[in-house]
């Protein structure tokens, strides 16, 4: 991920960055030397890589040479030289702590050496100790912010990260406030624009905090720049709370409150530079506000986080409840057409069949033997005095009594079995209800980094187009991709659902793709996202067993909308229609639970409970699923009694087998998981149980011989019958998948 997000820049871009660093060194050297501004370029050089530190040195040295100020800037120039040498020797060590220590040491050694030459070491040693410590802390803060951006693509405004960002912001502002143009400092102008952007993105709190940091940095550079920024925090607070975050209204409130506060304070000397600073900052803000994004800034928002968790938990609970209701329908599917024969008919077939008097007993009008046999079957105790009188002359009287008693015991055993089944079904339903309650109350950190700004924009744009949803949560996933979760009531979902994606894509000017709507029974959820880094090429084919016309295997390819794609095969017991019912049911339930937000292991255990409770006969189905993270390319294999998977990676073919039982056999519902090496261009082949072990060597040769996925899959199917060890072949399903770079990815 790090290599992908921070790939090498082009030579032209590198040149621009290096020239900018050199110009920054010259600008900072041109300013007044007090506070942070006195060591701004040293702290910046300590935090940056070697090339930019060298550029800062060139810019600072060049300006000092042109203006004759080398002697005046000798301490800072020497410190930059020491840093360049240090980075040349220890370039591989780029941790923030090392940057801070090396910066402090370079400035202290430089100051001490110059003081010793001038004979002032005793007087200035303590001064340079404090000076170098402050420079080291500033370098550490700047390096920490840069490392956070490089590793996580975001800055957390909390803890050490938030403190480092604040110190780096003050250092940045102070360094740019060291020079002034027409009474206004560049740092104050940029700080004003950033204060307005913070108020626009995060309200009054953002405007106030950013204004405070700007004012602090400006005062550390010079009193005149600080006076011009004195009322930025209050103006940012007012504008952020009152404006409704509309750029022009926010700018008007900010400018008006700032000027009013300056007039009321009596600071007449600072009115002109302050007004010029605010005007320039407002202009920059109005130009950048349409492009503002909080993508690289993250802050805690407990209220929004709780709202997300509540809605997600509720959606998961409704999903489980809906599956629970489908469980009742499933019972009818398994029991349909399995009516038990009448006990009188059983008694006749077991005793009367072949008797010489069968025709005379059963062919008389109204089958006179049926009524006394019915009374016999209904008896609870088989005593001679209660034996039906009509049957006393039957030649098989004793056999009738024994068989009726046997049937009575069978009837009792069946009732006990039904009671146990009913108890088990009730227990499972209770467990599901408890699970739903636990999920509803559970607190789990979502993978979505919430953005209030994006959420408001998505909600507003949909409402404006007549497609207002119940809830919207928008933000970024761990890979930095935009993701939105949009919830509708069933009757409110727009037709077609793709219209929602088109509206949001137009509003945000982003290329978006939509996951098919997922239903909880009460709500419909649509997930929108930017295209991920990778895409999956999938090709599959199947063949029926023997003379069967319907394949007992089922398969599916779907995505959960968060960047994870699933390829699933299920092989039902046997072949044909009966096996297809079980495998389709398993695939459908697995897909619904996964898209509803359930974890893999919990989903498998829940499906296993359903299969055990509702099948009156022994029935099972395998589960073979591949979960691919399309942001990272990570492959996770999920298997319950499934056949092995073949993977071609790095010129080698590996085989991954599952030691678990199929779903519906045991009460545990075990799931085997594996995370093999898998990267761009790799191929994985999944099989149903119709593929025999003898075929794996042939599959290995196919994988190593070429990249034509369709050809590989078709050849495997074509050879499946040849490798079958029995005369009667099984259903066969083969799915092949290859990981490819997504041409539409935003990265």
Residue range 440-469: mean pLDDT, rounded: 79
pLDDT for res 736: 94
pLDDT for res 727: 42
Task: Let me know whether 538 and 497 are in one domain.
Answer: no
pLDDT for res 3: 38
Task: Let me know whether 57 and 166 are in one domain.
Answer: yes
Task: Let me know whether 197 and 173 are in one domain.
Answer: no
Question: 122: Cβ–Cβ under 8 A, 6 or more apart, which residues?
Answer: none
Instruction: Tell me, yes or no, whether 442 lies in a domain.
Output: no
d(CA 288, CA 286): 6
Task: Let me know whether 623 and 521 are in one domain.
Answer: no
Instruction: Tell me, yes or no, whether 560 lies in a domain.
Output: yes
Instruction: Tell me, yes or no, whether 422 lies in a domain.
Output: no
Res. 283 pLDDT band, cuts 50 70 90 = very high
- DSSP H helices in 229-296: 232-242, 247-265, 271-288
| 3-state SS class at 435 | helix
Q: Which helix (H) or strand (E) holds 687?
A: strand 683-687
* Cβ–Cβ < 8 Å for 254, 235: yes
Number of residues that make up the chain: 747
Instruction: Tell me, yes or no, whether 169 lies in a domain.
Output: yes
Instruction: Tell me, yes or no, whether 628 lies in a domain.
Output: yes
d(CA 594, CA 515): 13
Task: Let me know whether 658 and 710 are in one domain.
Answer: yes
d(CA 96, CA 642): 49
Task: Let me know whether 510 and 564 are in one domain.
Answer: no
Task: Give the pLDDT confidence of 139-165 residue by residue, as tens digits.
Answer: 898 888 888 877 777 777 777 888 888
pLDDT greater at residue 235 or residue 392: 235
Task: Give the pLDDT confidence of 582-597 residue by residue, as tens digits.
Answer: 888 899 999 988 888 8
Res. 7 pLDDT band, cuts 50 70 90 = very low
Instruction: Tell me, yes or no, whether 78 lies in a domain.
Output: yes
Task: Let me know whether 50 and 160 are in one domain.
Answer: yes
The residue among 529, 552, 577 that closes a domain is: 529
* Cβ–Cβ < 8 Å for 517, 503: no
Domain total in the chain: 4
| Domain range enclosing 256 | 184-293
Task: Give the pLDDT confidence of 320-335 residue by residue, as tens digits.
Answer: 777 767 766 666 666 5
Res. 462 pLDDT band, cuts 50 70 90 = very high
Task: Let me know whether 497 and 540 are in one domain.
Answer: no
The residue among 247, 262, 293 that closes a domain is: 293
Res. 263 pLDDT band, cuts 50 70 90 = confident
pLDDT for res 678: 93
Is 21's pLDDT higher than 60? yes
d(CA 585, CA 334): 12
Residue range 276-280: mean pLDDT, rounded: 88
Q: How many helices (H) and strands (E) does the chain have?
A: 24, 18
Task: Give the pLDDT confidence of 187-241 residue by residue, as tens digits.
Answer: 888 899 999 998 888 888 888 999 999 988 888 877 777 888 888 999 989 888 8
Q: In terms of Cα–Cα distance, which of 250, 251, 171 is closest to 213?
A: 171
Task: Give the pLDDT confidence of 602-646 residue by residue, as tens digits.
Answer: 788 878 877 776 655 556 788 999 999 999 999 999 999 888 899
Is 137's pLDDT higher than 70? yes
Res. 395 pLDDT band, cuts 50 70 90 = low
d(CA 649, CA 652): 5
Task: Give the pLDDT confidence of 430-452 residue by residue, as tens digits.
Answer: 566 546 655 654 545 456 788 88
Chain centre to alpha carbon of residue 178: 45
CB burial readout 359-381, b (16+ within 10 A) else e: eebeeeeeeebeebbeebbeeee
* Cβ–Cβ < 8 Å for 537, 525: no
Average pLDDT score over the chain: 79
Is 55's pLDDT higher than 60? yes
Task: Let me know whether 65 and 195 are in one domain.
Answer: no
* Cβ–Cβ < 8 Å for 682, 649: yes
pLDDT for res 182: 61
The residue among 179, 212, 246 that closes a domain is: 179
Instruction: Tell me, yes or no, whether 700 lies in a domain.
Output: yes
Task: Let me know whether 634 and 688 are in one domain.
Answer: yes
First CA to last CA across the chain, in angstroms?
11
d(CA 413, CA 558): 45
Longest CA–CA separation in the chain, Å: 138
* Cβ–Cβ < 8 Å for 590, 569: no
Is 358's pLDDT higher than 70? no
Q: What Å distances lie between residue 690 and 168, 662, 722, CA to CA?
A: 63, 15, 12
Task: Let me know whether 138 and 240 are in one domain.
Answer: no
* DSSP 8-class letter at 300: -
Task: Let me know whether 631 and 697 are in one domain.
Answer: yes
Instruction: Tell me, yes or no, whether 323 lies in a domain.
Output: no
pLDDT for res 337: 47
């Amino acid at each position: 991920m790090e290599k992908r997000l921070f790939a090498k820049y082009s030579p032209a871009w590198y040149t621009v960055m290096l020239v900018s660093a050199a110009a920054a060194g010259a600008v900072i050297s041109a300013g007044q030397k007090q506070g942070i501004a006195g060591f701004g370029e040293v702290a910046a050089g300590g935090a940056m890589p070697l090339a930019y530190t060298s550029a800062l040195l060139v810019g600072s040295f060049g300006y000092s040479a042109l203006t004759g100020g080398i002697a005046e800037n000798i301490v800072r120039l020497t410190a930059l030289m020491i840093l360049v040498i240090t980075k040349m020797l220890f370039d591989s060590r780029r941790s923030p702590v090392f940057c801070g220590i090396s910066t402090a040491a370079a400035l202290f050694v430089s100051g001490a050496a110059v003081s010793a030459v001038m004979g002032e070491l005793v007087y200035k040693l303590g001064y340079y100790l404090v000076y170098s410590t402050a420079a080291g802390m500033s370098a550490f803060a700047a390096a920490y912010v840069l490392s956070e951006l490089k590793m996580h693509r975001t800055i957390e405004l909390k803890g050490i990260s938030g403190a480092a960002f604040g110190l780096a912001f003050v250092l940045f502002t102070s360094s740019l406030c060291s020079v002034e143009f027409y009474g206004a400092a560049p740092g104050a102008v940029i700080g004003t624009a950033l204060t307005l952007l913070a108020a626009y993105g995060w309200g009054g709190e953002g405007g106030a905090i950013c204004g405070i940091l700007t004012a602090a940095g400006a005062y550390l550079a010079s009193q005149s720049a600080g006076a011009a920024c004195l009322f930025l925090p209050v103006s940012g607070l007012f504008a952020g709370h009152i404006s409704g975050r509309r750029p022009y209204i926010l700018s008007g409130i900010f400018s008006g409150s700032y000027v009013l506060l300056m007039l009321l304070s009596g600071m007449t000397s600072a009115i002109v530079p302050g007004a010029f600073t605010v005007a320039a900052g407002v202009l920059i803000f109005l130009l950048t506000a349409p492009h503002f994004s909080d993508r690289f800034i993250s802050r805690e928002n407990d209220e929004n986080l709780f709202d997300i968790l509540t809605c997600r938990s509720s959606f998961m609970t409704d999903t489980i409840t809906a599956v629970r209701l489908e469980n009742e329908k499933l019972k009818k599917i398994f029991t349909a057409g399995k009516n038990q024969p009448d006990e009188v008919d059983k008694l006749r077939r077991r005793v009367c069949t072949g008797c010489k008097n069968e025709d005379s007993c059963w062919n008389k009008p109204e089958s006179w033997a049926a009524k006394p046999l019915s009374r016999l079957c209904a008896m609870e105790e088989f005593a001679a005095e209660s034996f039906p009188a009509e049957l006393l002359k039957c030649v098989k009287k004793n056999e009738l009594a024994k068989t009726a008693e046997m049937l009575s015991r069978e009837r009792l055993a069946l009732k006990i079995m039904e009671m146990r089944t009913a108890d088990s079904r009730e227990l499972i339903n209770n467990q599901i209800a408890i699970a739903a309650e636990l999920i509803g109350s559970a607190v789990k950190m979502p993978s979505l980094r919430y953005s209030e700004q994006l959420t408001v924009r998505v909600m507003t744009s949909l409402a404006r187009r007549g497609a207002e949803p119940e809830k919207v949560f928008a933000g970024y996933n761990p890979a930095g991709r935009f993701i939105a979760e949009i919830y509708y009531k069933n009757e409110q979902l727009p037709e077609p659902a793709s219209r929602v994606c088109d509206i949001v894509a137009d509003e945000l000017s982003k290329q978006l793709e939509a996951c098919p709507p997922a239903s909880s029974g009460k709500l419909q959820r649509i997930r929108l996202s930017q295209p991920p880094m990778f895409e999956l090429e999938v090709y599959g084919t199947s063949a029926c067993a023997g003379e069967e016309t319907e394949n007992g295997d089922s398969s599916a390819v779907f995505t959960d909308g968060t960047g994870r794609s699933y390829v699933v095969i299920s092989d039902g017991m046997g072949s044909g229609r009966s096996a297809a019912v079980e495998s389709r049911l398993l695939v459908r339930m697995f897909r619904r639970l996964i898209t509803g937000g359930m974890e893999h292991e919990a989903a498998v255990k829940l499906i296993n409970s359903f299969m055990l409770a509702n099948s009156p006969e022994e029935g099972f189905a395998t589960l073979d699923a591949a979960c691919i993270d399309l942001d990272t390319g990570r492959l996770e294999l999920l298997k319950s009694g499934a056949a092995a998977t073949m993977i071609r990676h790095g010129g080698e073919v590996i085989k991954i087998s599952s030691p678990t039982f199929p779903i519906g056999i045991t009460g545990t519902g075990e799931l085997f998981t594996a995370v093999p090496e898998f990267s761009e261009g790799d191929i994985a082949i999944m099989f149903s149980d119709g593929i025999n072990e003898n075929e794996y060597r042939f599959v290995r040769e196919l994988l190593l011989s070429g990249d034509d996925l369709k050809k590989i899959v078709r050849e495997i199917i074509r050879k499946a019958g040849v490798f079958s060890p029995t005369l009667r072949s099984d259903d066969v399903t083969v799915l092949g998948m290859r990981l490819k770079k997504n041409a539409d990815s935003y990265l």
